[in-house]
Amino acid sequence: METQRTHFKTGRTLITSQALGELEPMDVLAALRRHSSKDWGECCQEDAEANDQAVADGSRILSVYRDRHGTQFWIITEADRSATTVLLPSDY
């Protein structure tokens, strides 16, 4: 019986200095787990569908989350799966 993979490779994990200074670390860790298990957070339906396709075709993946204080942050996994970056929208 073949089992379906529920996670994808995320490569090296990075965080911007601004995100590191503003976000709750436990919330970031929880969001990274959600991201790698294909829970895209607060993405719109169109972006969530694009992420599902990106897992299959190797495109960039973007998820949107909030920490316990309501601060929105993004998690982006590069198309080549070499790195995943946690950042604030203002870092982009």
Distance CA 13, CA 44 (A): 24
Tell me: the pLDDT tens digits for 43-87?
Answer: 999 999 999 999 999 999 999 999 999 999 999 999 999 999 999
The answer to whether residue 2 scores a pLDDT higher than 70 is: no
CA distances from 70 to 6, 45, 66, 88 (A): 28, 21, 5, 12
pLDDT at res. 72: 98
Share of the chain above pLDDT 70, in %: 93
pLDDT at res. 4: 46
| 2 phi, psi to nearest 5 deg | -90, 130
pLDDT at res. 7: 83
pLDDT at res. 6: 62
pTM for this entry? 0.91
